[in-house]
């Protein structure tokens, strides 16, 4: 009877040691959204003149749509004026003209692509590229500069003698391609302020000169972006963290004619720790770092053992390429902590990550944001 009570108590104690812990995890669910943006700044036309001679004010109005956390599109209307200049016979000629340039652009949110979706970040960086049309007019100053040159030169009035061999008048439409980036700062829930830098390329002759290559102008803009409606919802989930193996000492009571204590040698078994991460993160929290320390302490006590660190990601969140990269970063974060923080030799650590089959060690997707450490 006494032996049965001891076994029952040991069973209840073992069950208590395996009670699952709970952890709160925040998930962000993206909502497609529209936005408008107003910007002001300056333009520099590429040419053989000083900056002050080719700089002009610039404005832009944009309407855009974000389809998902990574890709969006926008219609941008950029306008005001451009400048040209030329120096011949010690004389500096200058002229300006007006234009409006609507473009359709693709927008790639590089912050979310590389770091995972988190709408509560302070800063976001986008890559932008698109095509459109530049409609220019009001080139009278270029004609006056060319006429002044012709009068001074005394050459016959023919286009081959012009200073501006691609001189145009009236209204001229040209293809324009543009690419660049912007940096946006979240100042309120639906408001961003940002800086945009764009390079624009057009066919030769935009500035009335004949160069035999494409013409360029560069825009630097600052502005405000307002997003309509909610851009995301926030879900807080409580998950059960699976119990981890515990080392339990076994006590054996043996009744003989003479009571003796029979020592039971400690069994060196496999050790496992599961280091969990927040969504789209590879930084080890203080709570989870305690598990890494436990692995390090165990390895120091057993110098003949090695650890296999395998990183995983929730395949239901993000793309394949993002998950493969994220799982590798999680495993490497644990390996780096073992080496740099706790002094474990690199040759005792094997780093692995989920393959393209997207292995999922747990049925709950949230628990698959994990790096599993097995010491053997």
pLDDT band at 163 (very low <50, low <70, confident <90, very high): very high
DSSP character for 212? S
Q: Which domains does the chain have, with CATH numbers?
A: 28-232 (2.40.160.20), 268-375 (3.30.1330.60)
Strands (E), the chain: 21-30, 33-45, 55-66, 71-88, 91-109, 123-137, 171-188, 191-202, 215-227, 232-241, 271-276, 307-311, 349-353, 370-375
Per-residue pLDDT tens over the stretch 317-358: 878 888 889 999 999 999 999 999 999 999 999 999 887 667
pLDDT score of 308 more than 90:
yes
Q: What do you get for the CA distance between the two ends of the chain, in Å?
A: 39
pLDDT score of 300 more than 90:
yes
Please name the residue ranges forming H helices in the chain: 2-17, 51-54, 110-115, 140-153, 286-301, 320-336
Q: Residue 260: what pLDDT?
A: 38
CA–CA separation, 110 vs 116, rounded Å? 9
Per-residue pLDDT tens over the stretch 47-86: 878 888 899 999 999 999 999 999 999 999 999 999 999 9
Q: What is the pTM of this model?
A: 0.61
Tokens of 182: 């912007």
Per-residue pLDDT tens over the stretch 181-235: 999 999 998 999 999 999 999 999 999 999 889 999 999 999 999 999 888 887 7
pLDDT score of 267 more than 50:
no
pLDDT band at 27 (very low <50, low <70, confident <90, very high): confident
Order across the sheet with 370-375: list the strands: 271-276, 370-375, 307-311, 349-353
- Of 254, 281, 252, 243, which is closest to residue 370 (Cα–Cα)? 281
pLDDT score of 251 more than 50:
no
């Amino acid at each position: 009877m006494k032996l049965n009570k001891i076994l029952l108590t040991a069973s209840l104690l073992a069950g208590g040691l395996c009670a699952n812990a709970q952890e709160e995890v925040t998930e962000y669910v993206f909502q497609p959204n529209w936005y408008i943006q107003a910007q002001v700044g300056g333009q520099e036309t590429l040419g053989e003149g000083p900056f002050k001679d080719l700089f002009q004010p610039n404005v832009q109005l944009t309407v855009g749509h974000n389809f998902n956390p990574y890709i969006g599109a926008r219609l941008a209307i950029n306008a005001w004026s451009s400048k040209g200049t030329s120096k011949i016979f010690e004389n500096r000629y200058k002229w300006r003209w007006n234009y409006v340039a609507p473009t359709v652009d693709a927008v790639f949110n590089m912050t979310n692509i590389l770091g995972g979706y988190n709408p509560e970040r302070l800063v976001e960086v986008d890559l932008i590229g698109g095509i459109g049309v530049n409609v220019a007019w009001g080139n009278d100053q270029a004609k006056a500069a060319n006429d002044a040159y012709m009068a001074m030169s005394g050459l016959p009035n023919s286009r081959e003698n012009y200073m501006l061999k691609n001189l145009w008048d009236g209204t001229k439409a040209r293809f324009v391609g543009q690419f660049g980036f912007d940096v946006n700062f979240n100042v309120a829930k639906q408001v961003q302020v940002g800086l945009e830098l764009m390079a624009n390329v057009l066919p030769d002759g935009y500035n009335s000169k004949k160069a035999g290559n494409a013409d360029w102008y560069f825009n630097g803009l600052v502005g405000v972006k307002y997003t309509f409606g909610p851009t995301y919802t926030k879900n807080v989930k409580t998950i059960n963290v699976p119990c981890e193996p515990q080392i339990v000492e076994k006590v054996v009571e043996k009744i003989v004619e003479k009571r003796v204590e029979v020592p039971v040698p400690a069994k060196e078994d496999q050790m496992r720790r599961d280091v969990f991460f927040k969504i789209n993160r590879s930084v080890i929290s203080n709570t989870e770092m305690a598990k890494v320390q436990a692995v390090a302490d165990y390895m120091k006590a057993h110098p003949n053992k090695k650890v296999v660190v395998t990183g995983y990601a929730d395949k239901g969140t993000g793309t394949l390429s993002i998950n493969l990269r994220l799982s590798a970063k999680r495993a490497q974060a644990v390996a780096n902590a073992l080496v740099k923080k706790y002094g474990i030799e690199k040759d005792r650590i094997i780093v692995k990550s989920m393959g393209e089959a997207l292995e999922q060690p747990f049925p709950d997707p949230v628990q698959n944001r994990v790096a599993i450490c097995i010491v053997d």
